[in-house]
Amino acid sequence: MNVTGIAIVFATMLAAPGDTAPAKTIDIAMVAVQATHEGRRTKLIDAKLDGVRAALASLNYDTFRPVRAQRMSTQYNRDCRFAISDRYTLFVTPLSKDSKGGIRVRARIQERRVAGKKVMTRNALNVTSTVAEGTHLNLCGPKLESGDLVIVLSVSEKEGSSSPEPPSSSGEEQRQAPAVPRQNSGTIPRSTFR
């Protein structure tokens, strides 16, 4: 076998996995809640929050009102942006999958304030976590009107194509297309609560 033949074999070996392996799709579900302490004997959890009732029941608040729920699909190392309110935006980036199946993510709650013509932002919370299948990462505490903002996050991985659009006729165009996270419906409604 000559040098050209060896080069072709190596090129084929290197190119093959990338061409055939399906991209991983990461589903991220987010429920934003306004939580308050109102001195209730039993916790009041709005019926719209039934999907995350168990997660909310263990938190140190007694009243939970829905703010927004959204589910998005993305890929590893791509940001998902969830607009929660005029004041808060949640950014979630799946980073990797660990050996036990947990998905390592970076979640950031960005707070925004407008003072005159000046817009200021700061990170109210910046978290790196490994979210196990079937469990939640709860982010509590940023001030939201008369209560606290609570965000319940769940993350799962799915096999299959992550491309939200059908393949383009031009491969180059497809590679250059911006990665837009896809919004899904599921147990958590895709639309806002109110």
Partner 1 sequence: MRKRKWERRVEMLFDGEGAGHDSLEDLSARDPEASAYIGELESLREAARQAVASQEITDAQFPAFYEGVRAGIGARHGGRRGLWAVASLTAAALIAAGSTFLVLSGETPDATATTVEEATTDIEGATVDLDYSEDGDATIYLEVPDGDLW
SS3 160: coil
H or E element in which residue 113 lies: strand 103-115
| Cα distance from N-terminal residue to C-terminal residue, the chain | 69
Piece of the chain touching partner 1 by CB under 8 A; list 10-18, 50-58, 69-77, 157-165: 50-58
Q: Which is nearer to partner 1, 129 or 183 (CB)?
A: 129
Tokens of residue 146, six digits: 């008369």
| Cα 137 from Cα 183, distance rounded (Å) | 20
Is there binding between residue 12 and partner 1 (CB under 8 A)?
Answer: no
Is there binding between residue 182 and partner 1 (CB under 8 A)?
Answer: no
Tokens of residue 63, six digits: 């009243």
40, 113, 158, 190: residue in contact with partner 1 (rule CB under 8 A)? 113
Tell me how far, at minimum, the Cβ of 4 lies from partner 1, in Å: 48
3, 21, 39, 100: residue in contact with partner 1 (rule CB under 8 A)? 100
| Cα 29 from Cα 152, distance rounded (Å) | 8
Site for partner 1, rule CB under 8 A: 54-55, 58-60, 100, 102, 104, 111, 113, 120, 122-143
